[in-house]
Amino acid sequence: MLDLLGTIGGNVLSFPGIFGLGLGMMTRNWILASIMGGIVGVMETLVFTGFHVSEIRLVDLAVAVIVGVLAGSLGCAIRHRGATV
């Protein structure tokens, strides 16, 4: 259980969370923002395994993609809402 929570927390604070949020804020299209976040999740998993597909765990890949999609959607929501005071 702690391994899963560490994986989720690590992805939120790593590339899929931060970079996915930034890419999502670059567009107003929800689908495009989600796709870009998911691609960031896949690329982060590939980079950290050294591009060895045999070392990728399905849980790590799924968490990275889900976090990337959610971060991209959140970035798009921030862009839609804007800064209103």
pLDDT tens by residue, 9-65:
999 998 899 999 999 999 989 999 999 999 999 999 999 999 999 999 999 999 999
Would 39 be classed as within a structural domain? yes
Q: Pull the structure tokens for residue 78.
A: 């921030």
Asked if the model's pLDDT at residue 85 lies above 60, the reply is no
Asked if the model's pLDDT at residue 84 lies above 90, the reply is no
Strands (E), 1-85: none
Would 3 be classed as within a structural domain? no
Would 55 be classed as within a structural domain? yes
* The predicted structure's pLDDT at residue 83: 61
Would 1 be classed as within a structural domain? no
Asked if the model's pLDDT at residue 1 lies above 90, the reply is no
Distances in Å between the Cα of 84 and the Cα atoms of 16, 39, 80, 81 are 27, 30, 11, 8
Would 31 be classed as within a structural domain? yes
The number of folded domains in the chain is: 1
What is the reported pTM?
Answer: 0.89
* The predicted structure's pLDDT at residue 81: 87
Would 85 be classed as within a structural domain? no
Residue 72 belongs to domain spanning? 9-79
